[in-house]
Amino acid sequence: MKTFKVLSALLSYPSEDLIAAAPGFAMVLDGEKLVPASRRPALDRLIADIAAGEIYDLQERYGLLFDRSKTLSLHLFEHVHGESRDRGQAMVDLREMYEAGGLVIAANELPDYLPLFLEFLSTRPLDAARDLLSQTAHILAALAERLGRRKSLYRVVFDVLVAISAEAPERAAVEELLKDPDADPLDFQALDAAWEDEEVRFGPGAQGQGACGQEALIAKLRHARRAVEPAPSSPR
């Protein structure tokens, strides 16, 4: 579904190419009708804002939101694994799922980057894409609330993704993610402290296992990877 490509583009670092392509996004969304009608006005405002924006202003706004705030990170596993050992294996699983589905990513790209995840979903059947998206819905809902507090136009992208997902996120999981306070993007001392390496803990209960659905997410990713792997050929 090209709708996922549009949403991926909207969450990508602003570029001249994005500004030039933005006016065509509405036609894609109109054709597929995957975005709920109630969310279209806000999404159209974001698209129009990007299409008419100055590149440096757009990049500065994007950086203040997603690059300078750990709680608004667009890397999914940052919110469920932090710096734990499980994060590395989750990255491997996700990369292998992409490659099994025919999406080869550059060596320097982290597979849990949300725009890349959405790019992969655009290659999947809609039911499968919705099922995978639902495993991240609690993360997306928490990000939507944090962006809402900042009155950011970007909030609507996350609201749309939650609406498209197969299941509504559990409120308890969302609240767990919202426990960390929002940092001031201009308070560099606080930002440095927030981005310091976290303690890596192993064993039962490490990093709050199961608290935010990370085990279900990884299990679902592994299942999806197997689903897209080609079946072995039978011996002759």
User: pLDDT (tens digit, 9 = 90+) per residue, 121-178?
Assistant: 999 999 999 999 999 999 999 999 999 999 999 999 999 999 999 888 999 999 999 9
Torsion of CA 12, 145, 218, 104, to 10 degrees: -10
Neighbouring residues of 230: CB distance < 8 A, sequence distance ≥ 6 = 100
Instruction: State yes or no: pLDDT of 17 exceeds 70.
Output: yes
Instruction: State yes or no: pLDDT of 113 exceeds 70.
Output: yes
pLDDT value of residue 196: 53
pLDDT value of residue 209: 36
Of residues 136, 135, 146, the one with CA closest to residue 184: 146
pLDDT value of residue 189: 54
pLDDT value of residue 195: 45
- Neighbouring CB atoms inside 10 A of 63's CB total 14
pLDDT value of residue 207: 37
CA–CA dist 14, 16 (Å, integer) = 7
pLDDT value of residue 131: 93
- In DSSP terms, which residues pair with 113 in a beta bridge? 75
CA angle, corner 109, sides to 103 and 110, nearest 5? 95
pLDDT value of residue 208: 38
pLDDT value of residue 127: 95
**Burial track 46-58 (b if 16+ CB lie within 10 A, e otherwise):** bbeebbebeeeeb
Instruction: State yes or no: pLDDT of 119 exceeds 90.
Output: yes
pLDDT value of residue 145: 96
User: Which backbone phi and psi does 113 adopt, to 5 degrees?
Assistant: -65, 120
**Burial track 163-173 (b if 16+ CB lie within 10 A, e otherwise):** ebbeeebeeeb
pLDDT value of residue 162: 97
pLDDT value of residue 214: 42
Mean of pLDDT values over 95-123: 89
pLDDT value of residue 203: 30
Mean of pLDDT values over 48-65: 96
